[in-house]
Structure 1
Amino acid sequence: MTVPPLLRVPPFPGRKPAIPVSDPPPPFVPEGAERAFLFEKFRQARVGGDFWLPPALLSRPAGAVFRPRSLADVRMLLPLARKAESESVLWATHDAALLRLLAEMGAGRALGMADVDPWSVLCGASVLYAHGDDEWAALARIAGLQVEILSPGPYGDPGDGADTLGARAAAALAQPMADPFGEGWLTMPQTAALLADWRRVIDANRGNTGETIVAACGIAWWKRAEIRRFLWTPGQRLRIVSSPRRAVAVAARAGGALAIWPSRVSPALLAAAHDKGVPLVRVEDGFVRSVGLGSNLVPPSSIIVDRRGIHFDPSGPSALEDILAGAEFSEELLGRARALAQTILSAGISKYAAGRGDTALPQRKGGRCIVLVPGQVEDDMSVLAGGGGLTSNLELLRRVRAREPEAEIWWRPHPDVDAGHRLGTVPDEQALRHADRIMRGGSMAALLDHVDAVHVLTSLTGFEALMRGREVVCHGTPFYAGWGLTRDLAPVPDRRGRRLDIDQLVAGVLILYPRYLDPVTGLPCPPETLVARMARDSAVNRQGWIGPLRRWQGRLMTRVRKLGSTA
């Protein structure tokens, strides 16, 4: 009989099925130590089968799990169940009539299994009784359970021992899965890693205590399609609500969490959520965001989802701080971080762009040290929260000149400010009182490759400079300050006492903390996929028609501000 593959893609909304251009490779069924190693990877990741379904809410783990399909199965298994403590027995079936009968018998707990994550039942159990065509038999063997087969099927026959059932489970894992982001096929370790990433995202949307993200507020209209994909939870519709009062009420009624965009919500919403006991989840742009500016209404391909706080606010802890302060960075993870950083550097990728451009950079004057000072949006949340009271781009420039009197200082205005969309303009004549050059246009990556040091307030440019081995001086307290890699002029929280190297910082900041969305398939993806799309210029903006309109609007606003300043 035909059975669905054991390893499969969750039903993400709007996903495009993979279309391989080649036939699948011949299955390789692992044996011995290699099989045990792969079973351990899948067991730790808890993937395979319908792993994305809601967990079973069990008061205590089951010892013996029975999967009856008929009254005859119940009669056969009942003597075994009656010998065990009733609370350790779990009857798991889709049949409503059997559920009622089992509940009346009182020989253990009865649980409907139509929409339940199998791993939430099998983890902690010791034995499974199931039919040979039930994929739970393969998952249970991978999980290390004793498995007893009730009738023959592809996953086992009655009387099969542990080794035979293990071989059947390994054969099920060996069915190759098409690469959802490419045109080839994934190996078993690659499949395990990808499914594990997807599981982490789905579990995070549900929350450790079952506080699923059920509503969102402060989400701009042009980001909503992507945010629905980022925050998708199977079986749960995400309500994106414009009214703060209504958003809190929706989340309170559903008993779930409310996702907010910090720069677009008011203190009144925060107070209302606190009063009603609604957990808040902060959502922000990621660090490798898109090709194109947010101010030009380019939807994000990367976001931050933080239940602890937010990375740009040093006044309180964040999930990123927890990762950087406490994560165990395996050699495998550090290897990924090094390779990812190398790809980013080679392709000239920064937060909003890819490529180095062909702009010729000025030559160094008389061997002087070149210091880059990137401007910021003066009312940006990271500046207000992490600037230590300093918000003025002009004042930042003045301080840098005071500290670097002999350096050649290059001033880089923020593109959103230069485009006329945000606050923070420094007139060129004022900037040139402290800076030697104003560097507009061109690639930030090329600039960072050319300079010796970077002075920042809280700009992400400082992190990008660290990846390139540049000296970074922090006048504020960005998320990358305080870990031993920067010269810090502002106070740093004691929570950041751990010393990190650049590979560990990259692993935490670019792999473990953000989420990524493939702009081609619409699927959650690892950072390597988005970076590769950006490097190949295939990170498509679905709202490209808005860019010219926003640029015209920015020029108009700049002219209006100039007229206002001279009136």
Structure 2
Amino acid sequence: MAAVSTSLPAGGSGEIVSDAVLDKIAALRVGGDFWGHEVQGVKLVAQAGVPISPERLNGLDAAEVAVIGGASPFPPEPCDPWTLIEQARSVHARAEDDIAIVAGLLGVPVFGVDFQPVDPRCLKQAARDRLSQARYRNCFTGEEADVEQAVRQLAEWRALFCANKAICAASGMAWWKRDVMRIFLWDGLQCPPFVTAEQGLRRARETEGALAVWPSRVPASTVDRAVEQGTPLIRVEDGFLRSRGLGAALHPPGSVVVDQTGIYYDAHAGGDLETILATHDFPPELVERARLLRKRICGSGVTKYGAGQGRMVSLPEGKRTVLAVGQVDDDQSVHLGGAGVAGNLDFLRRVRQAEPDAWIVYRPHPDVQAGHRAGHLGDATVLEYADSVDGGAPLMQLVQSVDEVHVLSSLTGFEALMRGRPVTVHGMPFYAGWGLTRDLAAPNGRRGRRLSIDQLVAGALILYPRYVDPVTWLPCGPEIMVDRLADGSTPPMSWLIRLRMLQGKLRRLMTLSAELLHGRRPA
């Protein structure tokens, strides 16, 4: 684990720790080896070397007695003290021992070396002393922090590890993503093995665990087979603040979503994000955090891929202008969230039908434009319905220059909403159906709650995804990720990414050659 605190020199004294902080530590269960093994069935916990009165041991099996710091292999190390102690009837230790302090915070009786009960007030004071004798820092920036900030950070990590403990295997994870996936899926002790879907289903059946999958990279039968054998499927996908480059160009993701019930782009089945948006309370402090995050994103120019350095397309004055955002034709978000729209050409036809008098600018998807994915349309085809084609201008500058943005299910619609732009949606992406967009598809019966843009941001960018800091390689929050993307603090381009870029250029060259040979206007 990364250090968020260091001990002060002997005799040093730090901040005063309140009862409220102690209560928060107990509620969030952070401190000690909280990421360790979760041992069950223990009724008595003792520090090695502290005597236990015989009557306390009467009727207890060896597996019900845990000795910390002893030669016995039970409990295994590292061991989560909170899970261990909260189920115990008694703890036998010195007042200054870690397990005594944890027991005091949890309200579990503690007995000392003289077999006598230790005053709970002494245990709380020991906790205060321990916490005040440390110096805290922000592990991402190196800046000084206070104990409450350290507790919040540790609590976020604990929640992440706990969410991963059920995962017994991972399937469909591209080999070039696996290093970062080990961070996203680590349970505090280990990362699940990367195996085939067949092997993963077998392992899940044998261990009664869950199988994490990248949906587009496992056989379609995986879902049915998982249902048949009662295996929970956890779907993993790129997050909404991803990296400074394209996924199809093999830039590893800095953010993913790990969905227990579905996936955000499946409008038919729903998922964790839809549930969050439909039911979460969204307290004022969370909404304010989302507002500041949105301001940070819009001010820094950060987008999902950070791509787009070309010149702005010219727009006519005095005429309504519309941006139509293309996608990858065979992408899962189009199949499952496209509401029956059959790819980019059909989408363009519908945009023209909805905007017969507007000046329409078509923006191809960056993966398609880079030559990596399906959905390419030649200029001649595009210009049957659009008035111009954008070849790579900064996307958010373009979004803010037009009167309205039309999307099928593209994340650009969400990014446009964050910047206060009107958005018309032809499909059913996660941000449609909450009163923020003009929706042309049939309504989703599970949606309908009216959300503010900052409630939507809170759900989609704070509560739902996971992030990894590309500098420290520690799990982080969205604010750190935005800062890293904005200041360019990301890993240098690898040989693999350079090779993938060359491959994309060759594909585009082949497409251009084919169009010239057939007498079509090149794209």
* Aligned position for 1:103: none
* Aligned position for 2:163: 204
Offset of 1:272 from its aligned partner? 3.6
Distance in 2, matches of 1:233 and 1:468, equals: 37
Distance in 1, matches of 2:391 and 2:112, equals: 70
Distance in 1, matches of 2:9 and 2:130, equals: 18
* Aligned position for 2:84: 121
Offset of 1:458 from its aligned partner? 0.6
Contact 1:95–1:112 (8 Å) recurs in 2: no
**Is residue 185 from structure 1 mapped to residue 144 from structure 2 by the alignment?**
yes
Contact 1:379–1:391 (8 Å) recurs in 2: no
Offset of 1:562 from its aligned partner? 4.8
User: Number of residues paired by the alignment?
Assistant: 513
Contact 1:27–1:176 (8 Å) recurs in 2: no
Distance in 2, matches of 1:256 and 1:474, equals: 38
RMSD (CA atoms): 3.1
* Aligned position for 1:246: 199
What SS does the aligned partner of 1:341 have? helix
**Is residue 292 from structure 1 mapped to residue 245 from structure 2 by the alignment?**
yes
Distance in 1, matches of 2:276 and 2:66, equals: 37
What SS does the aligned partner of 1:216 have? strand
* Aligned position for 1:235: 189
Equivalent residue for 1:548, pick from 498, 508, 513: 498
Render the CA deviation track for 1:13-35: whole Å, top value 9, x for unaligned. Answer: xxxx7899x999x753435xxx1
What SS does the aligned partner of 1:294 have? coil
Distance in 2, matches of 1:98 and 1:301, equals: 41
What SS does the aligned partner of 1:73 have? coil
Offset of 1:148 from its aligned partner? 4.2
Render the CA deviation track for 1:413-462: whole Å, top value 9, x for unaligned. Answer: 11111111111112112222222222221221222222232111110001
Offset of 1:328 from its aligned partner? 2.2
* Aligned position for 1:51: 34
* Aligned position for 1:226: 180
**Is residue 365 from structure 1 mapped to residue 304 from structure 2 by the alignment?**
no
Please report the TM-score for the alignment, with normalisation by the length of structure 1. Answer: 0.83
Structure 2 unmatched runs, 5+: 519-523
Structure 1 unmatched runs, 5+: 1-8, 11-16, 100-110, 152-156, 207-211
Tell me the percent identity.
41
Counting only pairs closer than 5 Å after superposition, residues 135-534 of structure 1 correspond to structure 2 as 135-150=98-113, 161-174=119-132, 175-206=134-165, 212-241=166-195, 243-353=196-306, 359-360=311-312, 362-366=314-318, 368-534=319-485
Contact 1:127–1:146 (8 Å) recurs in 2: yes
Contact 1:263–1:381 (8 Å) recurs in 2: yes
Contact 1:473–1:486 (8 Å) recurs in 2: yes
* Aligned position for 1:41: 24
Contact 1:18–1:182 (8 Å) recurs in 2: no
Offset of 1:260 from its aligned partner? 1.1
What code does the residue aligned with 2:48 have?
R
1:136–1:451 Cα change, 3 Å: farther
Offset of 1:90 from its aligned partner? 5.9
Please report the TM-score for the alignment, with normalisation by the length of structure 2. Answer: 0.89
Distance in 2, matches of 1:36 and 1:364, equals: 64
Render the CA deviation track for 1:11-59: whole Å, top value 9, x for unaligned. Answer: xxxxxx7899x999x753435xxx122123222321111111132334x
What code does the residue aligned with 1:539 have?
T
Render the CA deviation track for 1:127-175: whole Å, top value 9, x for unaligned. Answer: 6442234212222333344544437xxxxx9876433432321232232
Distance in 2, matches of 1:458 and 1:94, equals: 54
Equivalent residue for 1:67, pick from 42, 46, 66: 46
1:166–1:262 Cα change, 3 Å: same
Distance in 2, matches of 1:112 and 1:418, equals: 56
Offset of 1:275 from its aligned partner? 3.8
Distance in 2, matches of 1:143 and 1:167, equals: 14
Render the CA deviation track for 1:361-420: whole Å, top value 9, x for unaligned. Answer: 635521x33221110000000001111121321221121121122322221111111111
Render the CA deviation track for 1:191-217: whole Å, top value 9, x for unaligned. Answer: 1111111111111111xxxxx222222
Offset of 1:348 from its aligned partner? 0.3
What SS does the aligned partner of 2:400 have? helix
Contact 2:287–2:458 (8 Å) recurs in 1: yes
Offset of 1:313 from its aligned partner? 0.4
Distance in 2, matches of 1:549 and 1:238, equals: 29
Distance in 2, matches of 1:297 and 1:344, equals: 24
Distance in 2, matches of 1:92 and 1:119, equals: 13
* Aligned position for 1:107: none
Render the CA deviation track for 1:507-557: whole Å, top value 9, x for unaligned. Answer: 11001111111111111111111111111111224x532333222212222
What SS does the aligned partner of 1:214 have? strand
Distance in 2, matches of 1:358 and 1:280, equals: 41
1:358–1:375 Cα change, 3 Å: closer
What SS does the aligned partner of 2:500 have? helix
* Aligned position for 1:5: none
Contact 1:18–1:183 (8 Å) recurs in 2: no
Render the CA deviation track for 1:245-273: whole Å, top value 9, x for unaligned. Answer: 23322333343222111111112333443
What code does the residue aligned with 2:459 have?
G
1:23–1:513 Cα change, 3 Å: farther
1:182–1:19 Cα change, 3 Å: farther
Distance in 1, matches of 2:15 and 2:498, equals: 54
What code does the residue aligned with 1:194 have?
Q
Distance in 2, matches of 1:538 and 1:96, equals: 45
What code does the residue aligned with 2:270 have?
P
Render the CA deviation track for 1:266-295: whole Å, top value 9, x for unaligned. Answer: 123334433443322111000000000011
What SS does the aligned partner of 1:496 have? coil
What SS does the aligned partner of 1:190 have? helix
Contact 1:39–1:143 (8 Å) recurs in 2: no
What code does the residue aligned with 2:351 have?
V
Contact 2:313–2:390 (8 Å) recurs in 1: no
What code does the residue aligned with 1:547 have?
I
Offset of 1:186 from its aligned partner? 2.4
1:372–1:144 Cα change, 3 Å: farther
Distance in 2, matches of 1:23 and 1:446, equals: 53
Distance in 1, matches of 2:200 and 2:109, equals: 47
What SS does the aligned partner of 2:103 have? helix
What SS does the aligned partner of 1:372 have? strand
Contact 2:425–2:440 (8 Å) recurs in 1: yes
Distance in 2, matches of 1:18 and 1:536, equals: 24
Distance in 2, matches of 1:456 and 1:360, equals: 20
